[in-house]
Structure 1
């Protein structure tokens, strides 16, 4: 009897152990492996999470306009960035003669147009295309460049050999001529060997707007302290060649690029903006270096050569030329990039240049469109006479 009770107890114990073991095993059929079930559950959970948190897709493409000044016909043409067609033209015949440079302010609200023939600067409100005012600044107003803080414009007046300041009051849309520096009266620039003339050509500011680097027509470059309107550093023609218009600040603000160009010369220069020292000089590989622009990814600087019709591509880190565009169009002048970096828009001079110191004529006046990836010309937007200025406005 005792043996029977022991046997029954052992049987019950074994049954309980089996039931416990079965309860710990996952209920997965033999036809569906465990790994597949786990994967299916993970996919279902992931799908639910995506359904709950999936963001609304945003259109990252920016609409933009390209503004071009034809100084031969006294017109400002506005080109739709997407269609690459002229959508509007501003007649400048009763505004200023030979609109040479056109530059937008930091927000694309106002365009500052230097009229070289009439020695004046016109201010255009971009939204409605209205010319708000035209101010006399000096003979041969060549480049009117707004400061990064939007408080002033410095104007390079070439034959007048002056740099004029325009003060900006955006709140009241008032613009007034203020101070002026006469470069031909600066003692540091009176050496005729190093400074054949003191004609300012193009300029660019340091990141804080405190200094302006200005190239000189006969060769050389000066650094102006904007607050005091005094020359604080100068370089003669033995260091910086003539006719430079490639002044542009590096994206990180540490370097100022400049260039020089003629039918026999094309060099570019790099300055340390903290010390104002010239730290790098190199040939562009072409002739008559002129317009410059950084790619939107801020990795490269394009610099066009007017005589050889090409462009050097400079690495912003090494400062060296790393690539070229073999042909950008006949007699290229200035350039801008589309916001997405796909296209470069480059003005091409006409057969009868309205301004200039040496042969820079071309046979196809207009705007050349370059595919940046393939580095090939893909379109020509034809214009009438002698296009020069170009800038880009992003549509908000």
Structure 2
């Protein structure tokens, strides 16, 4: 073979090697780019501004519902937890007047709605939103609270000065008013200076359901033996202030918290549930204490103040105020936490309160949403009337 042929073959071989190498490099460079593109778009969506937002199963599916009683429009609003939009409204105009407080039983099967304007209690089957019955209890039915075992409901009837006892037969869906306690006739409450009136306001059961702590409108609190439906302990207004609605049991069942509120007062109280003794009295740091709930971890009690629009955070072991939420919304009333403990829902009163004993009007009726970690208001679900009662129904238990 001559030199020209050798040189030609060598150059041809080099060209083939270069072409092959370039092709492989091009293929190798393009493949990671496609993979990266696929991975970057998986689990994201583009919002209206063109920004990508992470999408999770929790964010796209509802795990609970928020139920709100609007006593200004005679409606029960059901809010989806994923979108925070109203998904259904139950018209109460032909059911009960001024639905005031709404409370689920522990299983979330039934919502008990106290209708303050009509002196009745309505029972709603949560699954299909059907109002099963409406029972006459007493004038100014304010709070209907189910017992821990779900077998009875105690109702505080404010101007009637009575407690109604409703028996519950879940299997047959029968609800019957069986007994009544006339607080105006209780001998221990006849001191007019300590008990200006015997109007029951709010109540909570002990863990075993055998006792209930009931606040009184003019000031004071009574402990009721539920089996006997009789007062076994009483505290006058010199110990417990007026207009309290913050009754709640500590997670371990050892203590009962209560509060009182007015245009000048915001106190809270702690009772030993074994001895029924008042063991602590404190001030929230705001004005007009009202709605309360305990955090998911059981360490803190959040208590809103209606006039100062804030919330005190109370340590459930030391009973001291350890922090504050500076702003929860205008004229906050009743409250609840999301099941994961990340959000705090607060009803905000309207400009024309349908019920109340003193100035508690707000300019933005609705449900305020607070981020628990940052303690800041992050959203508002706007309503039109006078929202008051609020509770959660957990789905897919």
TM-score (norm. length: structure 2): 0.84
Q: Distance in 2 between the 1:143 and 1:133 partners?
A: 17
Q: Which runs of 5+ in 2 are unaligned?
A: 1-56
How far the C-alpha of 1:299 sits from its partner, in A, is: 1.0
Q: Distance in 1 between the 2:345 and 2:177 partners?
A: 32
In the other structure, the counterpart of 1:222 is: 222
In the other structure, the counterpart of 2:154 is: 154
**Contact 1:70/1:387 (CA < 8 Å) preserved in 2?**
yes
Deviations 1:120-151 (A, max 9, x none): 00000000000000000000000000000111
How far the C-alpha of 1:59 sits from its partner, in A, is: 8.0
**Contact 1:256/1:270 (CA < 8 Å) preserved in 2?**
yes
How do 1:305-316 and structure 2 match up within 5 A?
A: 305-316=305-316
In the other structure, the counterpart of 1:364 is: 364
**Contact 1:289/1:304 (CA < 8 Å) preserved in 2?**
yes
Matched pairs, number: 339
> SS at 2:184's partner residue?
helix
In the other structure, the counterpart of 1:253 is: 253
How do 1:369-388 and structure 2 match up within 5 A?
A: 369-388=369-388
Q: Which runs of 5+ in 1 are unaligned?
A: 1-57
Q: Distance in 2 between the 1:129 and 1:315 partners?
A: 37
> SS at 1:184's partner residue?
helix
Larger Rg: 1
In the other structure, the counterpart of 1:84 is: 84
Root-mean-square deviation (CA, aligned residues, Å) is 1.2
In the other structure, the counterpart of 2:286 is: 286
In the other structure, the counterpart of 2:141 is: 141
How far the C-alpha of 1:81 sits from its partner, in A, is: 1.1
TM-score (norm. length: structure 1): 0.85
Q: Distance in 1 between the 2:200 and 2:365 partners?
A: 26
In the other structure, the counterpart of 2:392 is: 392
Q: Distance in 2 between the 1:295 and 1:87 partners?
A: 27
**Contact 2:62/2:80 (CA < 8 Å) preserved in 1?**
no
**Contact 1:62/1:339 (CA < 8 Å) preserved in 2?**
no
How do 1:17-166 and structure 2 match up within 5 A?
A: 63-166=63-166
> SS at 2:65's partner residue?
strand
How do 1:342-357 and structure 2 match up within 5 A?
A: 342-357=342-357
> SS at 2:149's partner residue?
coil
